[in-house]
Structure 1
Amino acid sequence: MNKETDVSTMNDPHVLDLDHSVGERLPLDVYDADFDRRDSEVTGRASWKFERLQHFRELDNESWDALDRGDWDESLRLLEGMREGLADAIRGEMSRGNPFHRVRVVAEPLTPYLQWELHGLRLQAECGRPTRVVRDEVIHPLEGERPLPEVVVLGGRTLYEVVYTEEGLLDSAVRFTDPEVVQRWEAFIEQLYKGGEDVVSYTDRYVFRLPPPRLAVD
């Protein structure tokens, strides 16, 4: 991983705060439809995703279900089975000139979720959707009592703060379209991306040597 990601230009811990009073809360079904529509309209401009939380819960995901059963080999096999569909989707993004970049914040030792997700992100990267990994201490100076939010920026025009329940389930989103807010976050994610380590390199160097993850039993 690169020695340091420079966030010195954002030395105010509140510079990335998202004021929900100037955003619009979207229930999950509305968010899904709104995202799909706006994403399909993006041409000739990159989109960005910033992932901060270290644990989520997945629904309707056979690979995650296999991990939940303790079958790590089957979980990885099912991830690999997604390759063709992912490649088709990513080719569609690229044909519109809309590459989707992701920054994944990691804290070591990895949570079971993150160990699993990084295998999936590696697969996406191999199919043409780039992801870079950034250590959590890089962004600590910009965080107060709460971690930075999960954010997606579509084509420099729309920002979604993606909201999860305390259990890690996708709940809703808050949409922002103020150009200053969108551009500030887009620049921040791009800066992190430039200083991060490619997810393929990180996974090969660190994640592959880990023992199979085990989810905690409720």
Structure 2
Amino acid sequence: MPSLQTESQGQRLGLQDYSEDFERHFWRSGSEGFWKLERRQSFREPGVASWEAFHRGDWAGALALIEGQRGHYEDYLQRIRTSGFALHRVRCVEEPLSPYLQWELHLLHLKAQCGEDTRVLSKDGLLRYEDQSPLPEIVVLGSSVMYEVLYDDSGELVGGIRFDDPRDVSRYRRAIQEMHRSGEPLDGFFSRRVASLPPPAVPAGQRRTAHP
């Protein structure tokens, strides 16, 4: 699955339209569930407090803010279970870990402890699915809709392309499920490869200073 091969061209959505469309369909995911393929090794998440702390070089503060979200995610994942579906994620990981990915894996580990089903697909595992170009960022919601999630060059979310042909949705859900089955449960990977790492060195050109 090196590129997005679909039956239709899809509908390109700007950030606001994508966010609203996603929210409308998310809670209707149903028994097929939510499946996410996350390939990029670095993103920007302005407005997320723990990411902001990480980005300005405050690693201890970033981890404390992640832990402070535990109650929120426990409630959120319980609401999802009550709504009749589950969250499944494939996180592609290249080593050595990027500073961003080291931060994100701490957040994903917390989410996994609260009930999200995440597996790690390492570089060796990626070779089965990737040719010359990286896999797309894909989210599949149930059996009705999927999105190719779009980012700018810096890794900041800018929108998505929506596909609702049932053949596309089913094919990509099955592909992500196959990757998920072949991946390693996040808990084991985190314990072996992430938990004992020293704080990441955020490049000086990317580090943000706190404003008064």
TM-score by length of 2: 0.91
Does residue 62 (structure 1) correspond to residue 49 (structure 2)? The answer is: yes
Q: Separation in 2 of the partners of 1:57 and 1:177?
A: 28
Does 87-96 or 99-108 show the bigger shift? Answer: 87-96
Is the 8 Å Cα contact of residues 83 and 123 (structure 1) preserved in structure 2?
Answer: yes
Q: Separation in 2 of the partners of 1:169 and 1:19?
A: 25
Q: CA deviation at 1:20?
A: 9.5
Q: Which runs of 4+ in 1 moved over 4 A?
A: none
Q: Which runs of 5+ in 2 are unaligned?
A: 206-212
Aligned to 1:74, the other structure's residue is in SS state helix
Q: Separation in 2 of the partners of 1:19 and 1:43?
A: 23
TM-score by length of 1: 0.89
Match of 1:134 among 121, 124, 143: 121
2:99 equivalent in structure 1:
112
Q: How many residues align?
A: 205
Equivalent residue letter for 2:34: S
RMSD over aligned Cα atoms = 1.6
Identity %: 41
Does residue 192 (structure 1) correspond to residue 179 (structure 2)? The answer is: yes
Deviations 1:146-185 (A, max 9, x none): 2011000001221100000111100110001111111111
Does residue 165 (structure 1) correspond to residue 152 (structure 2)? The answer is: yes
Q: 1:178 to 1:21 in 2, by over 3 A?
A: closer
Deviations 1:37-78 (A, max 9, x none): 111223233110000010111110111111122111111000
Equivalent residue letter for 2:117: P
Is the 8 Å Cα contact of residues 151 and 159 (structure 2) preserved in structure 1?
Answer: yes
Q: Separation in 1 of the partners of 2:131 and 2:119?
A: 24
Q: Separation in 1 of the partners of 2:194 and 2:139?
A: 25
Q: Separation in 2 of the partners of 1:111 and 1:199?
A: 17
Q: Which runs of 5+ in 1 are unaligned?
A: 1-12
